[in-house]
Amino acid sequence: MRRGFRGEKSAKRGGGGGRTGILGRGEGANSEGESHRHMWMEIGKEHVDMEYVDCLLFSMFLNGFDNVIQWILKKGVFSNTYTFVPIVDGGHWNLLILCNFGKPLHKDCGPCMILLDSLHMADPLSKEPNIRRFVRELYKASGRMETSRAINSIPLLLPKVPQQNGGEECGVFMLYYMFLFAMNAPKSFSRTSYPYFLSEHWFSYDDVDVFEKKIRTFEKRCETEAAECLARKIDSVEMEDKVEGTKNSEIIKDMPVNEEISSMEKRKTRGPTCSHEVHGMESDKKINVEWNDVGQPVGPGGRSLRTFLSTVARNASKLPIDISIWSKIPKHLIEDVWDFIKRRSEVNRKNKGVQKIFHCAGTQTFADIRKAELQKSGQEMDRSELFIVTHTRKDGVPVNSECAVAIVNKPGRVRGLGTGPTPATLWGRSTDVLKDENKKLGDRVKDLEERIAKLERTDSKFQLTSKRVKLLDMYGSQVVIGNVMSTDPPKIVMGRPIGQDFYEVAILLANKPDSPLFIKDHNRKTIKDAIGSHILWFLEYVYLSGAST
């Protein structure tokens, strides 16, 4: 059962990776706020003096957003007994509770902080420096007179509470911590006898399941109400347009309003673009991208480039989801993304620099131009005529000097035979002969390329045998240090032969234990499952240790 809570890429086993909503869907921060408000309506203010802070304000504070502290102070941090501050770090959610922040320091009933974490193995106290900086800024902005040393002495308690079982349950656990604490918290808080119920047996997993179903039901009801509201608004606009355009009011009365709303609710929408063909492409293959005269990518390659860049922009492991302004993104993250894109486009840029002759056909293909001319004049264009049309601007001027030289020298002329002979007079105008020859030459070139690539792979494979290597994932990040044990194609490893595309590698050190294996078996799915054993790894992602990637 997925219980993800909106956050960045998971850290260790912290859940909620990707750009999802409160329970693993794509609703975003609005769903989180609705869930908090729903819980607050159930709890009521009569239980105890408490308030909650918006779920993304702490992350906004860490990323340097202006006025965040002032927004939090408006929640009455120094007048409430308890203030709930949700924290998301690396995709994992915790709950920070600020207790008695309006009371004097150095007293049993003075200020205290409680950090509730559903994954103690992820070292929750690593967040303490940021939490204490956050608290110092709260005291400073409120104009209070306490010194930094006194503020730093405020205790940060980490009680043992029920822990999550799966990798994506932290969001639901955080909400349930908040709900139960608010329902049972004492009206007066002291450090020496802070809530007795904060223990490993605070609640059961069945209680969490019941709570999750309740939240899901509320979330679904919000979605339905929002869809109905949107449908009513659209229907109202359509009715107003019809009233303005006709005097016959009977048309409005006969409109099938209910059917339109029902059809809108059932309408299916496509999911997010993943660009699998680019991310899963082999390193020696590239997609050619054409550019128009104003520097815009066009054609099929241009569409692939745009969708690929959109997936990079949505990748929370590269660009944080809680930063909505480009100028606020840290410089090192921008450089990392740019390096990632450059690794994908280096070969294309070199090829583009070598190219000298450019066409001006824009997004229209040469095949479409030939077809249009055939429909217009009834005659098919030969290669020379097509070249002139596609490399000459509307004013009759060639695109550049190289195109001008090619046009003047007549691409249709047969060189070396003097004036007179042309391809048409020598071989006729039939395109079938040329197509057949081109196909044979293409097949032969492809066969030779495959043979050369096979020889190169075989040669490089045997050079790395018994060498210390580093293994990269499909994004170019180092995940493992190991030794190449064998390159023998018939040898069976992980239930399959090594073949021409893999190495047998012994894992010595895991840089990213949670990274998935390229080839999985029943017991080994991630790097940490295969430590100390032999695995198969694509040879394109294996480099000598110390070599540049």
Question: Which range of residues forms the domain containing residue 471?
Answer: 464-544
- Statement: residue 138 has pLDDT above 70: yes
Pairing type for strands 156-157 and 112-117 reads parallel
Q: Assess if residue 338 is contained within a domain.
A: yes
Tell me the per-residue pLDDT of 209-233, one tens digit each, with 9 for 90 and over: 888 888 888 878 888 888 888 888 7
Confidence of residue 414 (pLDDT cuts 50, 70, 90): very low
Do residues 51 and 174 both lie within one domain? yes
CA distance 440 to 434: 10
CATH number of the domain encompassing residue 500: 2.30.30
What is the predicted pLDDT for the residue at 50? 85
Confidence of residue 47 (pLDDT cuts 50, 70, 90): low
- Statement: residue 115 has pLDDT above 90: yes
Tell me the per-residue pLDDT of 90-105, one tens digit each, with 9 for 90 and over: 778 889 999 989 888 8
Q: Assess if residue 16 is contained within a domain.
A: no
Q: The pTM is what?
A: 0.41
Do residues 340 and 484 both lie within one domain? no
Do residues 93 and 191 both lie within one domain? yes
CA distance 350 to 346: 6
Look at 324 and 133; give whichever has higher pLDDT. 133
333-to-309, 318, 320 alpha-carbon distances in Å:
15, 6, 9
Do residues 140 and 187 both lie within one domain? yes
Look at 106 and 56; give whichever has higher pLDDT. 56
User: Which of 380, 399, 427 represents a domain boundary (last residue)?
Assistant: 427
Look at 469 and 277; give whichever has higher pLDDT. 469
User: Would you state the torsion angle of the CA atoms of residues 376, 378, 379, 385, taken in this order, to the nearest 10 degrees?
Assistant: 0
Give start and end residues of each alpha helix (H) in 246-298: 250-253, 257-266, 276-279
- Statement: residue 252 has pLDDT above 80: no
Confidence of residue 302 (pLDDT cuts 50, 70, 90): confident
CA distance 534 to 454: 24
Q: Assess if residue 78 is contained within a domain.
A: yes
Q: How many residues does the chain have?
A: 549
Confidence of residue 247 (pLDDT cuts 50, 70, 90): very low
Do residues 221 and 197 both lie within one domain? no
Q: Assess if residue 281 is contained within a domain.
A: no
CB within 8 Å of 76: residues ≥ 6 apart: 51, 83
Do residues 123 and 173 both lie within one domain? yes
481-to-228, 527, 530 alpha-carbon distances in Å:
55, 11, 12
- Statement: residue 398 has pLDDT above 90: no
Q: Assess if residue 19 is contained within a domain.
A: no
Do residues 194 and 55 both lie within one domain? yes
Q: Assess if residue 9 is contained within a domain.
A: no
What is the predicted pLDDT for the residue at 3? 41
Do residues 93 and 171 both lie within one domain? yes
Do residues 234 and 329 both lie within one domain? no
Average pLDDT of span 108-133 = 88
Tell me the per-residue pLDDT of 323-356, one tens digit each, with 9 for 90 and over: 777 777 888 888 887 877 776 665 555 555 666 7
Q: Assess if residue 370 is contained within a domain.
A: yes
Do residues 346 and 258 both lie within one domain? no
User: Which of 175, 201, 227 represents a domain boundary (last residue)?
Assistant: 201
Do residues 350 and 381 both lie within one domain? no
The token pair at 444 is 């032969």
Look at 30 and 79; give whichever has higher pLDDT. 79
User: Which of 303, 329, 354 represents a domain boundary (last residue)?
Assistant: 354
Confidence of residue 532 (pLDDT cuts 50, 70, 90): confident
What is the predicted pLDDT for the residue at 261? 46
Average pLDDT of span 152-165 = 89
Average pLDDT, the chain: 75
What is the predicted pLDDT for the residue at 25? 36
Do residues 244 and 151 both lie within one domain? no
CA distance 323 to 68: 13
CATH number of the domain encompassing residue 160: 3.40.395.10
Look at 249 and 349; give whichever has higher pLDDT. 349
Q: Assess if residue 459 is contained within a domain.
A: no
Q: How many structural domains comprise the chain?
A: 5
Between 46-50, 313-317, 445-449, 533-537, the lowest mean confidence (pLDDT) is in 46-50
By C-alpha distance, which of 119, 235, 133 is closest to 166?
A: 119
